[in-house]
Structure 1
Amino acid sequence: MLRFVLKRCLLGLFLAFIVLTLIFLSLHLVPGDPAEIILTGEGGGAASPEALAKVRSELGLDQSLWTQYVQYLSGIISGDLGSSFRDNSAVTAAVAERLPRTLELVAVAVLLALVVGIPLGSLAAKRGGVVDAAINLVTSTGISVPVYVIGTVFVLVFSLKLGWFPAGGYRPAEADLAGHLQRVLLPALALSFGIISVVSRMTRSAVLEVIGQDYVRTAKAIGLSGPTVFRKHVLRGSLNPVVTVVGLQVGTLLGSTVLVERIFNWPGLSGLLVESVLQRDYPVVQGIVIVISVIFILINIIVDISYGMLDPRVRTS
């Protein structure tokens, strides 16, 4: 198992290196001079050559591409993502402030998806008939309705009509835990609506495939009870594709938080990304993309390791 984990970690490091290199090259291929954008903004007058040379020197843009690349990698390894073009603040600090808020939304959404989606899919596979058709109708709706529509409906129904939750905003957990939980549950539920449907459908398909296997019939034949057979053999054998779907959906959730954070006025990382793109604050955009890319690679490593823990055949193959 240790060798399996080490191989996956080394592969993750290699992928991270490739992604970081592609991000660096992509930003340097973008048209426009960052020094000119800082001095003149969009559509402003021309800056003097002396001022441009000074800003380029301060940003290190007057150095060779290789030198900039080495400094870029060194900064990332040391945790320095550069400084914002807008106010010269540290990008690392801005990302560190907002990242936990976005990860909290994603974590709660994934937890809700697992807690609701797996039992729902298992129930549909076991019962069939009308129950299966009803659950299929609900999950089809969850997949087809966009997250911004679900979020807007949740605000109208649960906040404005029923008054069960605040319409939006953010309150730190250390200042008001109850208020924080009230504000995080509704956007997380809106974010999880689609992935609950995906997890439910994948669980149903996997259970129907596993439930007819020979080892399941053997477990029943030796006298194990139905719930025991389902829990220890059917459900466990069905989790690998579910884990795959969840791992892939986390990347989708990181993108979907842009809309959810806007609707619920949640000050997360995605909102900062949109603001920075509109203001052409390249260091902040670069820092956020790097962090999200590394998180996605880590999630894939965790998914691979989960395969090995759930199915010994994976780590011995």
Structure 2
Amino acid sequence: MRPALIHYGRLLASSALLLLVVITVLFLLLEIAPGDPLQAMLGDAPASEEFRDQMVATFGLDQPMWQRYLTYVGNVLTGDLGESIVSRRSVTELIMIRAPYTLIIAVIALIISTIVCLVLGAIAARTRRPWLDGLISGGSLTFFSIPNFWLGLMLIWLFAVVLDWLPASGANAHGEPGIAWQYMILPIVATATSQLALKTRVMRSSTIEALGQDYIDTARSKGLSSDRVLYRHGLPNALLPMITIVGLSVGNLLAGSTLIERVFGWPGMGLLMVDAINEKDNMVVLGVTIVMTVMILIANILTDIVYGLVDPRLRARFTRSGRSAA
């Protein structure tokens, strides 16, 4: 038990250090980026020097960069992500409004892609029909090569423009609050398809490798049916790499949400970041990046914990380490 606590303690410490590095690098990049945030906020409206000086003092832009950095890091530790220079609203409030939209697409796409990849990967690995294996493998490779934003545009063209079955953008009719189910279908399909392609190939390879192990031959020699060998002995071991892939896919889902939400006009964190970048709203860009980074780090930590619970070899290593220390 003690080695496991040490391991997870180091994991938490390294995650916190990585988050600090992300904040530092992005803060410096936004500082040296061209453009005037105040001018982006004011637009073409005339503003006196007194008003500009007042706004500079309000947002602390008159302080040295190192002082603003330390102040910002201290505020982040208390949960304060700053204030939007454009909307004059709390960045935390803006993210809390947008986060559910991003999470509902990401979670549903993650579940669908994982379930479908388990089925397709197992079928491709055990089928005796070469054309079926080739169809699944070739299809997954094709969809893996297609950019998700292009796939989203093609889905809009087919289902919203040509067939007129589904809405093209937004989350609800006439911009009303809340989410209507028909508006989620195309973003979920575009997001899940890009995830499904990679997972299917990994699942297929992992299942083939698991079915080639000695214990599979032993199970077959005992007279077990092919289905029982697959589902009782093959798939449980083939699922171990999939745990890692699912955990890593969270980062791809959140990163890809920026393009997907832009294509479908989905009012999530990705679209919030795109708008903030265009408006030079640095505090919002920083806030969204921090929240997404925290989500990815939490997913990685949970993946490590689940892997340790599922993989008996890892549990045995922790047990041996604990006995050695004792």
What's the TM-score once normalised by structure 1's chain length? 0.86
Instruction: Give distance in 2, aligned partners of 1:69 and 1:148.
Output: 35
Counting only pairs closer than 5 Å after superposition, residues 83-102 of structure 1 correspond to structure 2 as 83-102=83-102
SS at the partner of 2:292? Answer: helix
Quote the residue 2:136 is aligned against: 135
One-letter amino acid of the structure 2 residue matched with residue 131 of structure 1: L
Is the 1:36–1:47 contact (alpha carbons within 8 Å) kept by the matching residues of 2? no
Question: Which moved further from structure 2: 260-269 or 186-195?
Answer: 260-269
Quote the residue 2:209 is aligned against: 209
Question: Which moved further from structure 2: 297-306 or 201-210?
Answer: 297-306
Is 1:23 paired with 2:7? Answer: no
One-letter amino acid of the structure 2 residue matched with residue 96 of structure 1: M
Instruction: Give distance in 2, aligned partners of 1:45 and 1:176.
Output: 34
Quote the residue 1:301 is aligned against: 301
Counting only pairs closer than 5 Å after superposition, residues 121-160 of structure 1 correspond to structure 2 as 121-128=121-128, 129-160=130-161
Instruction: Give distance in 1, aligned partners of 2:264 and 2:136.
Output: 28
Residue-by-residue CA offset, 1:197-237 (whole Å, 9 max, x unaligned): 11110101111111111222223334444333322332121
Instruction: Give distance in 1, aligned partners of 2:257 and 2:8.
Output: 30
Quote the residue 2:253 is aligned against: 253
One-letter amino acid of the structure 2 residue matched with residue 243 of structure 1: I
Instruction: Give distance in 1, aligned partners of 2:272 and 2:192.
Output: 22
- Report the RMSD for the aligned CA atoms in angstroms: 2.8
Instruction: Give distance in 1, aligned partners of 2:263 and 2:33.
Output: 31
**C-alpha displacement of 1:145:** 2.2
Instruction: Give distance in 2, aligned partners of 1:223 and 1:293.
Output: 50
Is the 1:8–1:305 contact (alpha carbons within 8 Å) kept by the matching residues of 2? no
Quote the residue 1:76 is aligned against: 76
Residue-by-residue CA offset, 1:47-89 (whole Å, 9 max, x unaligned): 63x5554333222233344442332122212221111111211
Q: Which runs of 5+ in 2 are unaligned?
A: 319-326
Quote the residue 1:118 is aligned against: 118
SS at the partner of 1:186? Answer: helix
Sort the Cα spacing of 1:46 and 1:181 in 2 relative to 1 into closer, same or farther, 3 A.
Answer: closer
One-letter amino acid of the structure 2 residue matched with residue 25 of structure 1: L
**C-alpha displacement of 1:94:** 0.8
Instruction: Give distance in 2, aligned partners of 1:278 and 1:166.
Output: 26
Is the 2:35–2:280 contact (alpha carbons within 8 Å) kept by the matching residues of 1? no
SS at the partner of 1:169? Answer: coil
Q: 2:17 aligns with which of 4, 14, 21?
A: 14
One-letter amino acid of the structure 2 residue matched with residue 166 of structure 1: P
Query: Identity of counterpart residues, as a percentage?
Result: 34
Sort the Cα spacing of 1:190 and 1:222 in 2 relative to 1 into closer, same or farther, 3 A.
Answer: same
Residue-by-residue CA offset, 1:93-143 (whole Å, 9 max, x unaligned): 111111110111111111111111111011001015121111122112211
**C-alpha displacement of 1:285:** 1.0
Instruction: Give distance in 2, aligned partners of 1:6 and 1:181.
Output: 41
Is the 2:243–2:303 contact (alpha carbons within 8 Å) kept by the matching residues of 1? yes
Aligned length: 311
Quote the residue 1:168 is aligned against: 169
Sort the Cα spacing of 1:188 and 1:36 in 2 relative to 1 into closer, same or farther, 3 A.
Answer: closer
What's the TM-score once normalised by structure 2's chain length? 0.84
Residue-by-residue CA offset, 1:255-290 (whole Å, 9 max, x unaligned): 322332233221111111111111111111111111
Question: Which moved further from structure 2: 73-82 or 217-226?
Answer: 217-226
Quote the residue 2:323 is aligned against: none
